[in-house]
Chains A and B, each alone.
Chain A
Amino acid sequence: MEQAPNRRRVLECMGWAGTGLVWTMAGGVASSAMLDTAQAATRAKTKPFTFLQVSDSHIGFTKDPNPDARATFREAVAKIKAMPVKPDFIIHTGDITQLSKDQEFDDADQIIKEAGLTVFHVPGEHDMLDEGNGKAYLDRYGKATGAQGDGWYSFDHDGVHFVGLINVKQLKAGGMGHFGDDQLAWLKKDLAGKSASTPIVVFTHVPMWVVYQQWGWGTDDAQAALAMLARFGSVTVLNGHIHQVLQKTEGHVAFHTARSTAFPQPAPGSAPSPGPMKVPAGELRDTLGVRTVTYAPGTETLAVVDAKLA
């Protein structure tokens, strides 16, 4: 939702006209700053940008309510291609495939390639089902990002620090998602040199807050990671896994779960199991979607917009 700056705000800004004002308007968040402030100096190095999140494409899924997860993933990519403003890149938050088969990974890559954008992946539990317990995923996606350990990595984009974490390996009986000590040690080092004003985006498959423990919808050792992120002024956590949009804010941390491009799952605890939710064919695309995230320098909160496939 674009929100125009109100009249008073515009007048305030006009009052500064000619004295070196930077005015940005992005993602519905308007802000202004004097050029001679430190903030503006920081801003001069960065600019608003948009990236996308897709999730849970489950290529290979052929059952009720979606006989062809490839087709709906193609529709999602077509929607991305048709966007008026070209996003900088795509993040795929896992469950790329249904069963980690080479053909499924190949097809997913072919389909998303059509968007013509760089794609950053993290795996879901469905991408760990090869004989090598995740080796197929790592061989395919690990090198491009200089991934460490089981595949975690980070990168910087226009002043924002992005961290891709893996919480679908080393799972323990009775537990939920899990990062493991090696990854947490890496995260500590990765964040060590960053100033508290650096906006952070963490993306991982399973939610980092306990959405519903009985279904394993959470990450056992997420608190350790969140403790390391607590000193940052802007943290956005993006994930998939539960095939529905849920949001939560805790201090400076905003959590967002995304829709799938394959099938919906029930609201927490609303069904006997978290299995695919059966919906009539005509309503399937209302439950699937693509997410746009916009960062505007100087604002704490990233603008997150979820668009349905319908």
Chain B
Amino acid sequence: MLFRNPIRCAPSAAVAALAAVTLGAAAPAPSVIKIDNFTFNAAETTVPVGTTVTWVNNDDIPHTVVATDKSFKSKVLDTDEKFSFTFTKAGTFDYFCSIHPHMTGKVVVR
């Protein structure tokens, strides 16, 4: 996306490490959270830094996925639509459905 040719940009150790992540060699396995029956099916998910988490809406009703600290926010997800976010920092990320706020979940990034 940004580094088509990272070597040309700046041949430093930092960029080399970034390139490794970009190439996917060190990327953790993706994680999927399903939305069923107005519930995030994993109320709490723990993933390593760099994990891409994908939410899939299996309900007949639209939902959203919104971080309470606003660090990520999906568009409205109709039936079978998905939203992905890559967690690049460690921490605890609480999120909820902004349409049905009683639906809450948490991603712990280590």
- Residues of A participating in the B interface, judged by any CB pair closer than 8 Å: 63-64, 98-100, 125-126, 128-129, 131, 171-176, 213-216, 272-276
Contact = CB atoms under 8 A, between A and B. Distances in A.
B101 A275 contact: no
B62 A216 contact: no
B60 A126 contact: no
B39 A273 contact: yes
- Chain A interface mostly: loop
B98 A98 contact: no
Given A172-B101, A173-B94, A173-B101, A273 B38 contact: yes
B37 interface: yes
Contacts of A216: 100-102
24 contacts: A63-B60, A63-B79, A98-B62, A99-B62, A125-B99, A129-B62, A129-B99, A131-B75, A173-B94, A173-B95, A173-B101, A173-B104, A174-B101, A174-B102, A175-B101, A175-B102, A216-B102, A272-B37, A273-B39, A273-B59, A275-B37, A275-B59, A275-B61, A276-B61
Contacts, number: 55
Nearest to A58: B61
Interface string B19-31: 0000000000000
Interface residues of B, number: 21
A171 B37 contact: no
Given A63-B79, A275-B61, A276-B61, A171 B38 contact: no
B104 A174 contact: yes
Contacts of A214: 102
Interface of B: 37-39, 59-62, 68, 75-76, 78-79, 94-96, 98-102, 104
Contacts of A126: 62, 99
- Chain B interface mostly: loop
Contacts of A100: 76
Contacts of A273: 37-39, 59
For A174, A175, A276, the residue with the greatest tally of chain B CB atoms inside 10 Å of its CB is: A174
A129 B100 CA distance: 12
B40 to A, nearest CB: 12
Contacts of B61: 275-276
Contacts of B62: 98-99, 126, 129
A300 B15 CA distance: 75
A126 B57 CA distance: 16
Contacts of B102: 174-176, 213-216
Contacts of B95: 173
A172 to B, nearest CB: 6
Contacts of A176: 101-102
Contacts of B78: 99
Nearest to A174: B104
Contact of B38 (A63, A99, A174, A275): A275
Contacts of B60: 63-64, 275-276
Contact of B100 (A63, A99, A125, A172): A125
Contacts of B68: 173
Counting from the closest, the 7 A-B pairs by CB-CB distance are A273-B37, A216-B102, A173-B96, A273-B38, A171-B101, A129-B76, A272-B37
